[in-house]
């Protein structure tokens, strides 16, 4: 290639000028001092420096945004956890003692529990269920359902989105945790909810005490 250019490009001393003094040499045969400009190596070096500078500026711009989004997500997750704790704590503290006469009971297993509380002097059945969500990356949701004792209509809401979780019940007489509860006359001493928000996170444990409870007499209180 070099030899081919050497044969095609005459020496500077043998240049001829056409009419009007125009240089007849082709552009690739002109010397370095014939016209101003950048060489290919200089253009490549400038491009590399420009890309490095732009990459640094982009990193400085995007990193604070990522940290802000992570902080916002953590705050929202903490708020949802606090809300779930508040719902469970309030409901379980007001759980009624089981009575066979009025069909008031406390039933629980690893995936949920059902019990009764008083609202406006009337018993209301409350259920918490750890339910699988179809097509969701979260995995499961903790749902709260409630209905009046004389009604078949349920109202519900999603309390918390979790990866997995389960309930346990503490038997104060035996001094042991169990995976289910179905005593027709007594409440468990404690209810424990253990769950994970994500697969790689450590489990979070809530423990709720159930006090002596009130027994429903059948009249509006």
Q: pLDDT tens, 119-128?
A: 877 888 999 9
Q: Which residues contact 168 (CB under 8 A, 6 or more apart)?
A: 110, 177, 178, 179, 191, 192, 194
DSSP H stretches of helix in the chain: 2-8, 40-93
Residue 101 neighbours by CB under 8 Å, 6+ apart: 218
Contact indicator for 149, 124 with CB cutoff of 8 Å: yes
Q: What is the pLDDT of residue 129?
A: 94
Q: Delimit the domains of the chain by residue range.
A: 78-215
pTM across the whole model: 0.65
92 contacts 169 by C-beta, under 8 angstroms? no
pLDDT, position 19: 42
d(C-alpha 159, C-alpha 164), whole Å = 14
**pLDDT at res. 36:** 59
Dihedral angle over CA of 68, 70, 74, 75, nearest 10:
20
Residue for token pair 């709720």: 208
pLDDT by residue for the chain (221 residues), tens digit each? 445 444 555 555 544 444 444 455 455 455 545 455 668 787 788 788 887 877 777 777 676 666 667 677 777 777 888 888 999 998 998 888 887 666 788 999 999 999 998 887 788 899 999 988 654 556 788 999 999 877 888 998 988 888 889 999 999 889 999 999 998 888 899 999 999 888 777 888 999 998 766 666 555 55
Cβ contacts of 6 within 8 Å, gap of 6 or more: none
What Cα–Cα distance (Å) separates residue 60 from each residue in 64, 106, 123, 149, 215? 7, 56, 58, 60, 63
> Mean pLDDT, the chain, as a whole number?
77
């Amino acid at each position: 290639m070099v030899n081919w250019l050497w044969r095609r490009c005459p020496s500077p001393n043998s240049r001829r000028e056409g009419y009007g003094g125009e240089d007849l040499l082709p552009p690739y045969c002109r010397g370095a001092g014939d016209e101003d400009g950048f060489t290919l190596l200089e253009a490549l070096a400038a491009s590399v420096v420009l890309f490095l500078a732009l990459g640094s500026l982009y990193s400085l711009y995007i990193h604070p945004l990522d940290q802000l989004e992570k902080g916002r997500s953590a705050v929202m997750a903490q708020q949802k956890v606090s809300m779930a704790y508040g719902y469970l704590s309030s409901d379980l503290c007001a759980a009624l003692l089981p009575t066979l006469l009025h069909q008031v009971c406390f039933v629980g297993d690893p995936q949920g529990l059902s019990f009764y509380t008083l609202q406006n002097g009337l018993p209301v059945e409350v259920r918490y269920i750890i339910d699988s969500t179809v097509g969701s990356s979260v995995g499961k949701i903790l749902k709260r359902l409630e209905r009046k004792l004389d009604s078949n209509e349920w109202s519900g809401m999603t309390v918390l989105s979790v990866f997995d979780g389960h309930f346990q019940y503490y038997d104060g007489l035996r001094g042991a945790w169990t995976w289910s509860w179905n005593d027709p006359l007594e409440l468990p001493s404690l209810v424990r909810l253990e769950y994970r928000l994500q697969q790689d996170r450590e489990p979070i444990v809530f423990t709720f005490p159930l006090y002596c409870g009130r027994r429903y007499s059948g009249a509006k209180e």
